[in-house]
Structure 1
Amino acid sequence: MVFEALWRLTVRLGVIGYGLQLLEMIREQRRYRKLAFGEDSLVLGVELGGTTCVAALARLSDPTKILERYEVPTVDPDTTLGQIVEWAWEKRGKIKAIGIAAFGPVQLEKSKPDYGCIMKSTPKVAFRGADVVGKFKDFDVPMHFETDVNAPAYGELTHGGHEDSSSIVYVTVGTGVGIGAIANGRPVHGLMHMEGGHYNPRRKAGDDYPGWSDVHPDSLESMISSRAIAERAKVDISELKDLADDNPVWETIAYYMAEMCATITYLISPHVIVLGGGIMNREILLPMIREKTTEILNGYVNVPRVTEEMDQYICRSVFSSNSGIVGALSLGSLALEEARDGN
């Protein structure tokens, strides 16, 4: 309506050139709205995991409601991604955008020749240098490529009920530890992307566990991942689900996660910290993490969200085990926005 009023005004004033520009802007906005919110417009989401890759289709207007889902084992790029492309290809006429969330490290800078690739430093040998984005180029639609933690962070921010927030940090704790961040509504990139699982938290007094990683033995991942918890409790990883709630290992894990949350608060100051991953299925952890984070902050961050609303500041993912694929699907709207804006 605003654009149309301006168009009429410019015609009356005789500024035809400017009026034509405005008319094209009106048409472009209408094309975008039709593309993004058409009833038949679909988004393809792809989540690359270490053992399983998930693909899903949803309407662009609501990426949280999965219409179709497809899972394949993570074998090698040609096999795994080829199966996903083949599965989605019959819907290509309705797919208007693609969102991809991948394990890393990955190249996210579009100006680089290896944009859309998994870097050669990844521990997953078969995927070193794999051109993930290139596998989907024949769909000829806007794509957004992200890390497997930035994607769920974006999904949480845009569809997780955090309407009053423009920044969020998402943490997943399971086989590994990953940290993703959204600031001012956009995924955080820099030199590459965040690798928060490799930072060294302050060691808990009396904790003599050496860590399992040869590269970064004192890293967060080495101290609290599922392997670390199993080794601390002297059980097999498969037995973690049966570990009693009163086992002292959970208090130790809560301490390290609180150290992480306090560090995130100091360094990034997000509106929300969302905790996900298999380990967060342990119900007793979240209250302990909140309590210990409050103790560590010790009143220094004196804002209501921390002092009075800790249950809203540090929370569990609303999408549970679907957080990754919902995040990938949510990237579809971002891909369209970037294409519209020429980014």
Structure 2
Amino acid sequence: MLYGAIEAGGTKWVCAVSDGDGRLLASEVVPTAKPEETIPAAVRFFLRHQRPAAIGVGSFGPIDLNPASPTYGYITTTPKPGWAYTDVVSPLRDALQVPIGFDTDVNAAALGEWRHGAGRGLDTIAYVTVGTGIGMGAIVGGRILHGLVHPEFGHTYIPHDADIDPFAGSCPYHGDCLEGLASGEAMRQRWGRPAEEVDDAWAWELEAEYLALAVTNLTYALSPQRVIIGGGVAKRESLIQNVRVRALELLAGYPEVPPLTDLDAMAQYLVGPSLDDLSGVLGAVELARDAVEGTL
């Protein structure tokens, strides 16, 4: 059985066809332009291949996941120009006549790592992406975490000492929330150049501080068995290790369990994605599988 997958990001859509065992048989990158250009381009990709049993979509958000809502399947209040209240699910379903699994891009990445990567064999994991924005997806008790909407961990507040870091924050909604202080966009605005071009040691010490605060909060609030940090910013050499060291200090030995008291154990608790850049698209394959089997 073939499954289709779309990792619908703010800059690109990765479209793929998989055999369902983690092997991608075909893939194509579609630039995220206007919805009326991007969605038809994704449809054309699938029309060029054998029709899959279902398609899974992991999308940037916020999105509407309530099947009873008139805007189910929509990207809702995104600040991305031209994409607010865009129906993603209906055009794909109508054009391709297959079931569509739909969730956030970070929930899809968490699902991909749980099924095929760094979260395999565990019951509860969290995946945090640190890129242009910051998002978090989670598997809790073997199920994707949903609730009122979906996790928006990037918009939680963390301590911000304006004397040390006078940057007001980049988030258009909250200013100095986690995303507003530690995302790639925050780094670009604070330092005047993209994160990958920032070489100042203090800049990365500050980034590690903010991410360690976030990991501490996530650890205490969700109690995951593993935290996976991905995204372009997280690829910075030594960043995750510095976050581990600072998180241990912040956790202060409470509670007294090895991942929260020992650096070697922390290295197994706070990790990078083992699927590299495929976490999201392989997670979207699993969303397609669930659209057929209903196991999540």
Task: Determine the C-alpha separation between the residues in 2 that align with 1:194 and 1:177.
Answer: 11
Is 1:68 matched up with 2:23?
no
1:335 to 287, 291, 295: 291
| Correspondence for 2:10 | 50
| Correspondence for 1:322 | 278
| Correspondence for 1:26 | none
2:220 to 245, 254, 266: 266
SS at match of 2:249: helix
User: How much does 1:147 deviate?
Assistant: 0.4
Alignment of 1:24-43 (within 5 A): 41-43=1-3
TM-score, with length taken from structure 2: 0.92
Identify the range of structure 1 (50-59 vs 155-164) with the bigger mean alpha-carbon deviation: 155-164
Task: Determine the C-alpha separation between the residues in 2 that align with 1:189 and 1:195.
Answer: 11
The list of structure 1 runs, each at least 4 consecutive aligned residues, that deviate by more than 4 angstroms after superposition, is none
SS at match of 2:87: coil
Q: Which runs of 5+ in 1 are unaligned?
A: 1-40
1:199-232, Cα deviation, whole Å (9 max, x unpaired): 1101257332221234311111111112322344
Alignment: residue pair count: 292
Q: Which runs of 5+ in 2 are unaligned?
A: none
1:120-178, Cα deviation, whole Å (9 max, x unpaired): x2212422222211122143333210001110001111111433311111111111111
* Larger of the two Rg values belongs to structure: 1
| Correspondence for 1:227 | 185
State the AA in 1 paired with 2:173.
V
User: How much does 1:92 deviate?
Assistant: 4.3
TM-score, with length taken from structure 1: 0.80
Alignment of 1:110-189 (within 5 A): 110-119=67-76, 121-138=77-94, 139-189=96-146
SS at match of 1:145: strand
State the AA in 2 paired with 1:241.
E
Is 1:281 matched up with 2:235?
yes
SS at match of 1:113: coil
SS at match of 2:70: coil
Identify the range of structure 1 (156-165 vs 203-212) with the bigger mean alpha-carbon deviation: 203-212
CA contact (8 A) 2:251 2:260 kept: no
Change (3 A) 1:184 1:142: farther
SS at match of 1:55: strand
User: How much does 1:330 deviate?
Assistant: 2.4
Structure of greater relative contact order (alpha carbons < 8 Å, 6+ residues apart): 2
Alignment of 1:169-248 (within 5 A): 169-204=126-161, 206-232=164-190, 234-237=191-194, 240-244=195-199, 247-248=201-202
1:263-308, Cα deviation, whole Å (9 max, x unpaired): 0011111111100010111111111100111111101122233334
CA contact (8 A) 2:252 2:261 kept: no
State the AA in 2 paired with 1:249.
A
Task: Determine the C-alpha separation between the residues in 2 that align with 1:161 and 1:317.
Answer: 6
State the AA in 2 paired with 1:200.
Y
* CA RMSD of superposed structures (Å): 1.9
Change (3 A) 1:161 1:275: closer
1:175-201, Cα deviation, whole Å (9 max, x unpaired): 111111111111111111111111110
State the AA in 2 paired with 1:272.
R
SS at match of 1:126: coil
State the AA in 2 paired with 1:243.
V
Change (3 A) 1:163 1:214: closer
Identity %: 38
State the AA in 1 paired with 2:41.
Q
State the AA in 2 paired with 1:307.
T
Task: Determine the C-alpha separation between the residues in 2 that align with 1:99 and 1:46.
Answer: 6
1:291 to 226, 231, 245: 245
